[in-house]
Amino acid sequence: MTLIETLFPLGWQHYLLGGLTIGAGVALLYLFNGWVGGMSTVFSSTWSYAFKRPFLQQERFLSSRQWRLVYAAGVVLGALVWRMALAGGEAQHTSVPVWQLLVGGFLAGYGARLGNGCTSGHGICGLGALQLPSLGAVLTFMGTAFLTANLMRLV
Amino acid sequence: MNTPMNPHTLTLPKALITLLAGALFGFGLSVATMIQPEVVLGFLRFQDWGLMLVMGGAAGLAMLAYKGFPNWFKRPLLGGQFLTQPAQWNRQTVVGSALFGIGWGLSGVCPGPAIAALGTGNTDVLWALAGIVLGGLAHALTARE
């Protein structure tokens, strides 16, 4: 096997193409609107509609909560277009156990908001803006994710 | 008189661009198979390095945008200003990122793919979306700032 086949047993082109498409979306949002398109802030800013706590009523959530919902709706739309155009309309499935999805999701949601960013906010936008704190965040969550995923394989 | 406009103001053209930008994001995640938790977990178990290409390709274009556009254009094409979102290195960033990684490594799902599951019809992954929504709420209701 070549090195490429060892590193990318499922091929590499779709990864690069997908990543560049994501980057094009982030760049478009910046070019036309001037906005930094991390994904996880919507999980704080949207709650500002329902709760009046001072934390949620910060300007940074109130001012951006509308466009963040539109941005999320766009993600749904893009995934739907992919499903209809390239996946034969089939609904997707995963075999990861429900408890791992739910508990893992909860920790990921809480942690992303506490750490002010996720794989897109720190990983794509923060690294793209050459911010050292984001590099630290990426190395931190990569580290704990490697550990967790490999420990789960042992159990 | 020039009244300073809220740079986040959502006009109709800006809403359409935002929707298109989100759609590219969701389509790209799908093409890159990041919407499949198994693929993400395969990366985290050193079986497939594709995620590096996804993040590298996306961050590379983002870097061109964040470093280039403010030099080439006075302001965004639809008005407002080029915003920055400075990240901070403090205890919250470390603890939050560590917890995020544990959750990501447990589920194979992060916020973008969780949202995309509404489009791909992956009802299993909606459990992760529910978890993220609740995790965001738990943070919002306990955070001090």
Among B63, B92, B123, beta carbon nearest to A114: B92
Residues A145 and A100 in one domain: yes
Is A143 domain-assigned? yes
Token couple for A145 = 């994710």
Beta-carbon contacts of B62 under 8 Å, excluding residues fewer than 6 positions away, are A23, A26, A27, A30, A124, A125, A127, A128, A129
Residue A46 DSSP symbol: G
Nearest to B100 by CA among A83, A104, A57, A72: A104
Is A1 domain-assigned? no
Helix, strand, coil % over all residues of chain A, rounded to 5: 70, 0, 30
Mutate which of A57, A124, A150 to test chain B, going by most B C-beta atoms within 10 A?
Answer: A124
Token couple for B23 = 């759609």
Is A154 domain-assigned? no
Interatomic CA distance for residues A4 and B124, integer angstroms: 32
Phi, psi of B42 (to 5 degrees): -60, -40
What stretch of H or E contains B52? helix B50-72
Number of domains in chain A: 3
Half-sphere exposure for B37 (CA within 13 Å, toward CB): 33
Is the CA virtual torsion B84, B79, A66, B126 positive or negative?
Answer: negative
Residues A84 and A106 in one domain: no
Tens digit of pLDDT for each residue in B10-69?
999 999 999 999 999 999 999 999 999 999 999 999 999 999 999 999 999 999 999 999
Whether B59 sits inside 8 A of A124 (CB atoms) is yes
> Token pair 């590298």 is at which residue?
B56
Contacts of A32 in chain B (CB under 8 A): 13-14, 17, 76-78
Is A22 domain-assigned? yes
Residues A127 and A108 in one domain: yes
Is A145 domain-assigned? yes
Rounded to two decimals, the ipTM of the complex is 0.96
Contacts of A112 in chain B (CB under 8 A): 96, 100, 110-111, 132, 135-136
Q: What pTM, to 2 d.p., does this model score?
A: 0.96
Interatomic CA distance for residues A98 and B106, integer angstroms: 11
- Range of the structural domain that residue A104 is part of: 95-149
Residues A54 and A78 in one domain: yes
Please report, in tens digits, the pLDDT of each residue of chain A (155 residues total).
789 999 999 999 999 999 999 999 999 999 999 999 999 999 999 999 999 999 999 999 999 999 999 999 999 999 999 999 999 999 999 999 999 999 999 999 999 999 999 999 999 999 999 999 999 999 999 999 999 999 999 87
Contacts of B94 in chain A (CB under 8 A): 115, 136-137, 140
Longest dimension (CA), chain B: 60
Token couple for A102 = 């739910």
Residues A103 and A115 in one domain: yes
Is A87 domain-assigned? yes
Is A135 domain-assigned? yes
Residues A30 and A55 in one domain: no
Is A155 domain-assigned? no
Interatomic CA distance for residues B132 and B117, integer angstroms: 13
Whether B132 sits inside 8 A of A43 (CB atoms) is yes
Tens digit of pLDDT for each residue in B120-142?
999 999 999 999 999 999 999 99
Residues A80 and A65 in one domain: yes
> Do the beta carbons of residue A110 and residue B138 sit within 8 Å?
yes
> Do the beta carbons of residue A82 and residue B112 sit within 8 Å?
no
Burial of A54 (C-beta count, 10 Å sphere; 0-12/13-18/19+)? exposed
Token couple for B49 = 């390095």
Assess whether pLDDT exceeds 90 at residue B1. no
Interatomic CA distance for residues A127 and A137, integer angstroms: 10
Distances (CA, A) of B107 to A65, A138, B3: 27, 17, 47
pLDDT band, very low/low/confident/very high, at B2 (cuts 50, 70, 90): very low
